[in-house]
Amino acid sequence: MMELPEFHVVGKQIDETLAGKRIERVVANFSPRKWAWFKGDPASYHGRLSGKTIRGAVGRDSHINMSIDDLCLSITPPLRYHEDGKGVPKKHQLLLEFSDGSVASSAIQMWGSYYLYDEGSPKDELRGNDWKPSPLTEGFTKAYFESIVNDDEAKKTSVKGMLATKQRIPGVGNGVIQDILWTARLHPRLPVSELTSDEIDALYGALRGVLRDMTEQGGRDTEKDLFGNFGGYKTILSQNTLGDPCPACGGKIERKSYLGGNVYFCANCQRL
């Protein structure tokens, strides 16, 4: 699924590619999914968006905000651009057809949300995370990260639980944490309460550094961008490298199910 790096990358691509395009037709919730959420009646999306022009877009840590005249469309699932109007998936949750014949389609992978609201309206539940400092900015200080680590609830879980649940760090999920934890040499199941001061330092540095590299390189090689291309960041631990030798020690990269998803790790390098 898309996470923080991909939201920033695709947000920039939308801003560069779709800005100025006039929307002719909107199809929302064509293929209903249990875990597809819409703010407002999806049947109203065509009436509210048709005839309007996309002014720009910005990728947040956990979603993409598209400015469409006086409205804002926030989305969390992937978005694909079809320049010639071809290749649109048969099943989709949102379709934007433009006056030049091009199309943007969105189909969720596991879950996703589409929120359409008036520009400048009070922050809703999706935008409420915008106030939290992003690991890509200087506002994500060591002191701020330590406040997350030292939270009483976080101390009761593992490092994976701390990083990838409860939206403690918006946009950071089960996908990006694999390389972050490998870089910090920490096992996903390691209890937060057992972290040493040096390990907290290492995790903070890995979190900021790995996310920056993923974003600068166009996202991960396990996820696709606006044009359907995989990102340029070569994941160290992912489905692409399962069974490969660890680049640090040569040990075998393993996979296990943990906390509702697969975790990848090197048992030799990552302390448990």
Find the CATH number of the domain harbouring 259.
Answer: 1.10.8.50
- The total number of structural domains in the chain stands at 2
Kindly state whether residues 165 and 254 are assigned to the same domain: yes
Last residue of a domain, one of 85, 105, 130: 130
Kindly state whether residues 125 and 146 are assigned to the same domain: no
Count Cβ atoms below 10 Å from residue 76 Cβ, excluding itself.
Answer: 21
Between 6-20, 123-137, 163-177, the lowest mean confidence (pLDDT) is in 123-137
Kindly state whether residues 122 and 155 are assigned to the same domain: no
DSSP 8-state assignment for residue 1: -
Show the CA angle centred on residue 13, arms to residues 10 and 19, nearest 5°.
Answer: 125
Kindly state whether residues 103 and 149 are assigned to the same domain: no
Kindly state whether residues 261 and 146 are assigned to the same domain: yes
pLDDT category of residue 121 using cuts at 50, 70 and 90 = low
Kindly state whether residues 217 and 151 are assigned to the same domain: yes
In-domain check, residue 146: yes
- pLDDT 10s digits, 142-181: 999 999 999 999 999 999 999 999 999 999 999 999 999 9
Instruction: Tell me the torsion sign for CA atoms 131, 135, 139, 143.
Output: positive
Widest Cα–Cα separation across the chain: 58
Kindly state whether residues 163 and 208 are assigned to the same domain: yes
The pLDDT, as a whole number, for residue 266 is 97
Kindly state whether residues 32 and 150 are assigned to the same domain: no
| pTM (2 d.p.) | 0.93
Give how far the C-alpha of residue 256 lies from the chain's centroid of Cα atoms, to the nearest Å: 22
The pLDDT, as a whole number, for residue 125 is 47
Mean pLDDT of the chain: 94
In-domain check, residue 135: no
Segment 32-39 mean pLDDT: 94
Kindly state whether residues 59 and 174 are assigned to the same domain: no
- pLDDT 10s digits, 40-89: 899 999 999 999 999 999 999 999 999 999 999 999 999 999 999 999 99
In-domain check, residue 271: no
Q: Domain containing 118 — which CATH number?
A: 3.20.190.10
152: helix, strand or coil? coil
In-domain check, residue 253: yes
Give residue 96's domain range: 4-130
**CA distance linking residue 60 with residue 97, whole number of Å:** 24
Last residue of a domain, one of 130, 158, 183: 130
Using alpha carbons, list the distances in angstroms from residue 226 to 35, 43, 112, 202: 22, 25, 16, 33
Residues 6+ apart with CB under 8 A from 33: 93, 108
Kindly state whether residues 165 and 87 are assigned to the same domain: no
